[in-house]
Every structure is written in structure tokens, then in C-alpha cells.
Structure 1
Amino acid sequence: MTESEISCCKVGRVAEVVGIDVDRELADRWTGEDRQSTRELADWFNRKLLAAELTAAGIPTKDGEVDNYYRLLTDDAVSSGDRIETRRELEQRGVSVDTLDERFVSHQTIHTHLTECLEASLSEPTLSERIDDAETTLGQLQSRTEAVTDDTITRLASHDALDIGSIDVLVSVQVACRECNHQYSVRELLDRGGCHCTR
């Protein structure tokens, strides 16, 4: 059975294909006393997936190795050289890293699985959940702006109203603090939790 033949969201499809049972623990981690954000749960799920793929490839792992592989594959702070070396090592040992990349899930996907597939709910979102929701909303607005701009420019070019070749539209929103005049991208500001002048 392929992933596309399983009727569920991406989390459910991937979990079933790989053979990991996570639904109850996902819901408990999200709604329990020590609640985790959907971003934390996405990392948790992706590490479970990575561990399952390593096991399927016959790669034994010691404590901390799965976390380290995940960091090397996904952390923006990792150099491109280290990431390429890690990917090459895993490929040589029988792990399809391209497939792994496609199966990794985002925090939005986790939220969809929790609320629509598992019908879990929260009475009051955590601060981390509020930030995740804000990031999702702003990201959707940015994507929408990029799509509308691309469509508009393309239509103008197709009617010879604009002379331009193939295009890429890039939208970057900056937030400037009036107190110290420091500027941040929205993602950077949300990740920092505020401006450095207030810390």
C-alpha cells in the first residue's frame, strides 16, 4: 500500500507506512499537563520517523544519535558541508534521505492532524501555540502576496504590457522597533520573542 492510498492526513499516512503508532501520545503531549507546542511535536514526530527509517535500514543507534542526525539534517545552523556529508553517509547506509525529507512534517501539519483527524482541542493556547498560529497566519499572507504578484506580472507579460522573462517573486516583511531602530524579519522576531532592546 502506498502513502497516497491511505485515506488520512500526511501524519497518518506517514505513520502507517513507516509503522509507528503515535496518535495517543501526540494528543497527550499536546493536551496534557506539560503541554508541548505543535512545533515541538513536529520535531518529536520527525525524530520518531527518522529512528524508524534508521532501524529499517539496519543502522543501530546509540543514545543521542537520532537527535544528532536530525539536527544535522534540519538545523539551519548546520553548515552545508556537514549536511551534505550526513546525507551522503545515510544514503550509503541505505536510507533514502529524499524520501525522508518528503515525509518530515511541519507544525501546521501536526496541528491539522490533532484537530481534524484526532479531534483534539485545547481550552486555551499556550504562548508557544499563539506564536505558531501567528507565524502560520503571516506566512499564509506572505505566500498569498507572492502568488498574486506572480500571477499579475505573468499576465501583464503575456499581454505584452511588460517586458520580462521568467520571474521569482520574493516577499520579505521587516519589523522595525521604534525604540532602538533595530529591524527584524517576522520569523526572526517571533523566534527571538521580542526585540533585543527589551531584554
Structure 2
Amino acid sequence: MCKVDVAADRFDLNAPTARYDSLDAYLLARWTGADGAESEGYKSLTDWFNRRLLKRVYELEGRDATSVRAESEYEALTGEDDVRRDEVAADLRADGIDAEELRRAMVSWSTMRRHLNGCLDGEKPERTATTDWERESVRVAADRVREKVRSALTSLVGKGRLADGEGVGVDVQVKLSCPECPARVPLEDALDRGYVCREHAAGVDDAVADVEVPAGGNSESSRGLVPFGAASFLGASLAEEAAVALQALLALAAV
């Protein structure tokens, strides 16, 4: 077994939702973008796996495993701040957890890549080489938003405000809006046809950024958060109380 299998077996790691019958099925679905969800990269899946492993170790050792605490200590254990890492290691030791052993149990992105491609024989279309840096910039921004939304969901689950947030899919779509009328279209559609709105195509030069938020959010107050042409990030369907936090995350993602 590879390191992912060893860790999953040792700590009894399962998929976070009953929708998938195994952890491997869940990882493959997120990697390939099954069921129409946005596909994710090795780094994102590696971070998710390691965070889940850390929380599982906390549970097994009886350590307080709130999402906020686990997230903070994960960042310390995997970060570059030696002082903070030593502080967390000493605190873990008091609960019978060896920080170095825990870090060794975590996997790298290259291990995750081998697991998905080799152990699970997974496949997904490779991105073709392109000089279309504009589209690539949009994709990178969307990936950053997706990761921040997942982090917010983890926190909301820990606070008991979203029961199934950790296992849900997160879909981030970029749409372009006409500055003269309510017309909104996906970026790819606009690029394919060469315009956002046929009627006002000649006056799109000064389009203003517009961020859509989940139900309960105030779309007017969110205008201008992301200076991305006439772009709007459309996140997954979240609980109403997550709207304010999501707006802030979207703004950070554009920095």
C-alpha cells in the first residue's frame, strides 16, 4: 500500500459524506470533477487529506478537535515558523501526541498524485499548453476562491452552523455582466461568441466588477469587491449565515 492507503487504514479515515462509499471514491470524485463539480488539484486534495488526518488523530487521543483549533495547529505544524511549531508540538505532547510522528504520517502532493494516478488508476483530461494567460488567470483565481470557501465551510461546521458543509462540493463559476442591462453570461460563452450582450456590445469598455453572493447576501453592497472586468464569482450554495464571510474571502482572493 502507498502512504495514503497506510494513513487511511491506520487512522480509519473515511469519506466525509455517505454519498461516497470510500475515501478513495471521494478523492477521485474531487480530483476528476465527477458529477459536474469543478475538478481540484493535487495540492488542494493533499491539504484536505492531511487536515482530516490531523483531526482524526485528535479524536483518537481525546484532544479538543474544533475546526478552528485544528486549522491553526495544522498551519503551525506545516509552516515555516519554528517557534510556533515547537509551541504546538509541546502542547500536543501533553496530550500524548508526537508532533513529528504526526507530520511523518501526513502525505505530500507528489504522494497524492501517485495515489490518484497509480493506485486508483484515475484519469482526467490534461490541460493543454497554452499562451492564453487571461483564461489561466481566471482559473487560478477561481481555484483560490474555492479553497477559501472550503476553509470557511470547515469553520462553519466546527461552529455547528452548517451540518454537512465539510463534504459538499464547491462550484465556482465566473460570469460576465453587461453594464447597461441585467444580461449575465458565463465567461466561456462570452469568449466563444465574442461579446457579453449583443445589444450593448459596443459599450462594455467600462464594465464594473460584480460579486454574486449566496441567498441572503446583499449583491448591491458587494459590487466592486473584485476588480475583474465585469466578472462575478458564483460560489456553491451555502448556508445564509455564510454570506458575509464569503464576501470577505472573495475580496481576499483577488489580492
> d(CA) in 2 for partners of 1:101 and 1:87?
10
Equivalent of residue 110 in structure 2, options 92, 108, 111: 108
CA distance in 1, matches of 2:127, 2:60: 37
| Letter paired with 2:50 | N
Normalised by the length of structure 2, the TM-score is 0.44
Structure 2 contact 46–109 (Cα < 8 Å) conserved: yes
Check if 1:24 corresponds to 2:28: no
Instruction: Rate the CA distance shift 1:119–1:55 in 2: closer, same or farther, 3 A.
Output: same
Q: Distance in 1 between matches of 2:127 and 2:53?
A: 26
Spell out the pairing of 1:147-166 with structure 2 (5 A cutoff): none
Task: Report the identity percentage.
Answer: 31
2:91 to 89, 92, 106: 89
Gap regions ≥5 residues in structure 2: 15-22, 129-135, 138-255
CA apart distance, 1:105: 0.5
Match of 1:13 in 2: 6
Q: Residue 52 of structure 1 corresponds to which residue in structure 2?
A: 56
CA distance in structure 2 between the partners assigned to 1:91 and 1:65 by the alignment: 16
Partner of 2:101, secondary structure, is: helix
1:35 aligns with 39
Q: Match for 2:83: what amino acid?
A: G
Q: Which runs of 5+ in 1 are unaligned?
A: 1-7, 129-199
Higher relative contact order (CA 8 A, sep 6+): 1
Whole-angstrom distance in 2 between the partners of 1:74 and 1:48: 14
Q: Any runs of at least 4 consecutive aligned residues in structure 1 with deviations exceeding 3 A, and if so which?
A: 125-128
User: Which whole-Å CA distance do the structure 2 matches of 1:38 and 1:62 have between them?
Assistant: 25
**Which protein is richer in helix relative to its size?**
1
CA separation of 1:63/1:14 partners in 2, compared to 1, >3 Å: closer, same or farther? closer
What letter is aligned with 1:95? I
The residue matched to 1:64 in structure 2 has which SS? helix
TM-score, normalised by the number of residues in structure 1: 0.56
Measured against aligned partners, the alpha-carbon deviations of 1:129-170 in whole angstroms (never above 9, x if no partner) come to xxxxxxxxxxxxxxxxxxxxxxxxxxxxxxxxxxxxxxxxxx
The AA in structure 1 aligned to 2:91 is E
Give RMSD over aligned pairs. 2.2
Q: Which amino acid aligns with 1:45?
A: F
Alignment of structure 1 residues 173-188 onto 2, 5 Å: none
Shift of 1:61: 2.1
Cα distance, 1:50 vs. partner? Answer: 0.2
Matched length: 121
SS of corresponding position for 2:103: helix
Q: Could you say which residue in structure 1 is the equivalent of 2:230?
A: none
Q: CA deviation at 1:63?
A: 3.0
